[in-house]
A and B are shown apart, each in its own frame.
Chain A
Amino acid sequence: MGSRIYLSLVIMILTIYAIRVTPFLIFRKEIKNRWVRSFLYYVPYVTLAVMTFPAILSATNSVYSGCAALVIGILVALFGGDLFTVAISTCVAVFLVELFL
Chain B
Amino acid sequence: MMKVCPSSILRQTMNGKLFIKGLKDGIPIALGYLAVAFALGFAAAGTGMNALQSFFMSFGMLASAGEYAAIMLIGSAAGIGEMIATTLVINLRYFLMSCSLSQKIEEKTPIWKRLLLAWFVTDELFGISSAVEGRLDPVYTYGAAVVSVAGWTLGTVLGVVAGEILPDRLESALSVALYGMFLAIIIPPARKSRFMALLIIISMAASILFASLPLLSSISEGFRIIILTVVTAGVAAAVRPVSEET
Contact = CB atoms under 8 A, between A and B. Distances in A.
Interface of A: 1-2, 4-6, 8-9, 11-13, 15-17, 19-25, 27-31, 34-56, 59-61, 65-66, 69-70, 73-74, 77-78, 80-95, 98
Nearest to B188: A77
A86 B56 CA distance: 28
Given A27-B102, A86-B184, A19 B65 contact: no
A16 B63 contact: yes
Given A19-B88, A24-B115, A56-B179, A49 B186 contact: yes
B242 A90 contact: no
Interface string B205-242: 01110011000000000001100110011101110111
Interface string B169-187: 1101111111111111111
A42 B237 contact: yes
Nearest 8 Cβ contacts at the A-B interface: A13-B60, A77-B187, A90-B180, A38-B237, A87-B180, A86-B184, A21-B118, A49-B203
B93 A45 contact: no
Contacts of B203: 45-46, 49-50
Interface residues of B, number: 96
B66 A39 contact: no
5 contacts: A8-B83, A23-B102, A51-B225, A83-B184, A95-B172
B236 A6 contact: no
Task: Determine chain B's interface SS by DSSP, over half rule.
Answer: helix
A5 B95 contact: no
Contact of A82 (B53, B184, B207): B184
A5 B191 CA distance: 39
A52 B183 CA distance: 8
A90 B93 CA distance: 28
Contacts of B95: 19-20, 22-23, 40
Contacts of B187: 73-74, 77-78, 86
Interface centre among B66, B182, B188, B237 (most CB of A within 10 A): B182
Given A48-B185, A82-B184, A39 B234 contact: yes
